[in-house]
Amino acid sequence: MNSKSNKEVLLVKDLFKGFGDNKVLNGFNLSLFEGENLVLMGKSGSGKSVLIKCLVGLMPPDSGSVELLGQDISKLNHSEMNDLRTNVGFLFQGSALYDSMTVRENLEFPLRRHSKKLTEEETDTLVMEALENVGLTHTVDWMPEELSGGMQRRIALARALILKPKIIFYDEPTTGLDPITAKEIILLILKIQEKFKTSSLIITHDVDCARVISNRMLLLLDGINYAEGTFTELSSSNDPKIKAFFK
């Protein structure tokens, strides 16, 4: 499916995060290898989105370390973190397109902030190239509210890809989509992974998505990585807690 290496691009050690008495992450560990599609599954409210926000520095963990592309993110200042973020793409659960901007402006936004030396023509070429990757070049001047849910997800994917990141985090990429559109998004993620050789951490509770997309899977339960393995290994497990995920 893809060319996976043994080089770690993301390493999470003993991550703890809680909100008052509610302990969401209780010493979570994770490693993502170069070129790998790692699927993280967990029940609703199990802390998947909290985890992914800790990984990109949107939320500080209570303790533990996150090494992204070899750099401990807790030791980076704001400017170093911003530089690191150019190598990280993020697909939000609700797409998070800037609704006051057109599709073109949405895609230009990260480009203009990180590649200031680009000319108008170069910017335009990169925008059209990103839209071509997701098959939506005709929507370049549309506003986000004119796009369907699936289209918004694809545009958000194009925006996440525009800086050619080394790692992409997907926060429930198929949630809220009909089965056909969800399948299209899954295939698109695979196509993009093949083309750009990115490493991906996909957070989902969609079993079909996990089956098609994963090289390896992790199950998040009670704030820890409860089980790890390939889809086949985990889906054939006799542990009732693991079985519950695949019913």
Partner 1 sequence: MAYLLSLKQNIASFFMEIGEMSFFSLRFFKELFTKPFEFKELLNQCYVMGNKSLFLVGVTGLILGIVFTLQTRPTLMDFGAVAWMPSMISISIVREIGPVIIALICAGRIGSSIGAEIGSMRVTEQIDAMEVSGTNPFKYLVVTRILAATLMLPLLVIFGDFIALIGSAIVENMKGSVSFVLYFNQVFEALTFSDIFPATIKTFFFGFAIGLVGCFKGYTSKKGTAGVGKASNSAVVYTSMLLFIIDFIAVFVTDIFV
Tell me which residues in 27-66 interact with partner 1 (CB under 8 A).
Answer: 53, 56, 58
Residues sharing a CB contact under 8 Å with residue 239, sequence separation 6 or more, in sequence order:
227
CB of 81 to partner 1, least distance (A): 8
| CA-based end-to-end distance of the chain | 26
Instruction: Tell me, rounded to whole angstroms, the distance of Cα 57 from its chain centroid.
Output: 14
Helices 103-114, 120-133: crossing angle, 10 deg rounding: 120
Distance CA 159, CA 120 (A): 17
201 neighbors 10 (Cβ within 8 angstroms): yes
Using the rule CB under 8 A, is 98 a contact of partner 1?
A: yes
CB of 200 to partner 1, least distance (A): 15
Using the rule CB under 8 A, is 82 a contact of partner 1?
A: yes
- Single out the residue of 6, 100, 119, 238 in contact with partner 1 (rule: CB under 8 A): 100
Using the rule CB under 8 A, is 76 a contact of partner 1?
A: no
Using the rule CB under 8 A, is 83 a contact of partner 1?
A: yes
What DSSP state is assigned to residue 102? -
Give which of 92, 176, 119 is closest to 106, Cα–Cα.
92
Which of these ranges, 24-32, 79-87, 176-184, 191-199, lies near partner 1 under the rule CB under 8 A?
79-87
Using the rule CB under 8 A, is 99 a contact of partner 1?
A: yes
54 neighbors 15 (Cβ within 8 angstroms): yes
- Single out the residue of 4, 74, 76, 109 in contact with partner 1 (rule: CB under 8 A): 109
CB of 153 to partner 1, least distance (A): 13
Using the rule CB under 8 A, is 93 a contact of partner 1?
A: yes
Give which of 39, 6, 12, 38 is closest to 25, Cα–Cα.
12
Using the rule CB under 8 A, is 113 a contact of partner 1?
A: yes
Residues that bind partner 1 (CB under 8 A): 53, 56, 58, 78, 82-83, 85-86, 88, 90, 92-94, 96-100, 109-110, 113-114, 159
